[in-house]
Amino acid sequence: MFKRVSLAALILLLAFTAFPALAARDRTAPTRPTNLRVTAVTSYSVTLAWNASTDNSGQLSYIICCAYNNSATVPQTSTSFTFTAGVEAGRTFTFQVWARDAAGNTSQASNSVTVTTPSDTQPPAQPVVNVTEIGPTHIKLALSTVEAGPVWYSVFLNGNLVINTTSSATPTLTLLQPSTSYTITARARDFAGNLSPLSTPVTVTTAAAPNDTVPPTKPGNLSGDNFDEEVNLSWVQSTDNLTQQSLIKYEIYVNGVLDHVVVGRGRTVLYGTAGMVNTFEVIAVDTAGNKSAAATFVVSL
């Protein structure tokens, strides 16, 4: 006598026979981490510790959450972690820990702990300005300071602010003149707005313009999207026989008048005149001053 078996039961039986691991799949979650606590706190870090979880598989990891949606995963061998991502001075954060095994089973959450980081009243140290590259129209910098948390830099050229609050420690000064001396200083600002002393001035002379008569290629596929008088222009960047693409200058014209200049990018935002046909032109310029043919975009606003 054959016993009738439903199709669903037959499929399950075949699956368990062909793949024994499916029948023995781990469905047991690790035990809950306990005694989550704060062991140290600074303006930009929180150190946590907890009592270990256990799991029938013997393998697990810990997930810690959250500082402004930043979470972290640490191995089974760790029952402490210093959170820095997303931690800011003078803010309140609540953390919990979960254990997760290799099969993806997740434990119940640990107890939660709430901590407020202290305010930051210490300004960054005086920045150090190093020059890493000099060209006819640009100077590359490396900026450094001592600061526990995030830092932004303002850069001054001959006393005039040219880069304001960049988080990049390797900015490039552009639109400079060949064979010209410039004095560079920088100031650092931290998350709390504390300002460092001004750096020691560094004087640099740009390189001479190259002996070059070959213009860059014409900017390609110039197009634009507009919302009322605002126009978002974009183009394929030019190339040049000597000037690297990141240093090619683009002159942007509106109805025959130079509006502004951008360097090393293929997009910009500008304004036309409502109620008329507007002509936008983009001309590429290399470090020797050679100019490409103009790319043109015409639109009625």
Q: Is 281 part of a structural domain of the chain? A: yes
Residue 186 lies in domain: 128-205
Residue 266 — pLDDT band, cuts 50, 70, 90? very high
Domain end position, chosen among 176, 205, 234: 205
Domain end position, chosen among 145, 172, 205: 205
pTM value? 0.77
Q: Is the dihedral of CA 75, 39, 117, 109 positive or negative?
A: positive
**What does the pLDDT look like over 11-20, one tens digit per residue?**
444 444 444 4
Residue 1 — pLDDT band, cuts 50, 70, 90? very low
Q: What is the number of domains present in the chain?
A: 3
**What does the pLDDT look like over 153-197, one tens digit per residue?**
999 999 999 998 899 999 999 999 999 999 999 999 999 999 999
Domain end position, chosen among 205, 232, 255: 205
Residues 150, 181 share a domain: yes
Residues 142, 112 share a domain: no
Residues 42, 93 share a domain: yes
Q: Which CATH number covers residue 289?
A: 2.60.40.10
Residues 148, 76 share a domain: no
Residues 233, 151 share a domain: no
**What does the pLDDT look like over 57-66, one tens digit per residue?**
889 999 999 8
Q: Is 214 part of a structural domain of the chain? A: no
Q: Is 211 part of a structural domain of the chain? A: no
Residues 161, 73 share a domain: no
Q: Is the dihedral of CA 286, 288, 294, 297 positive or negative?
A: positive
Residues 105, 13 share a domain: yes
Contact indicator for 279, 294 with CB cutoff of 8 Å: no
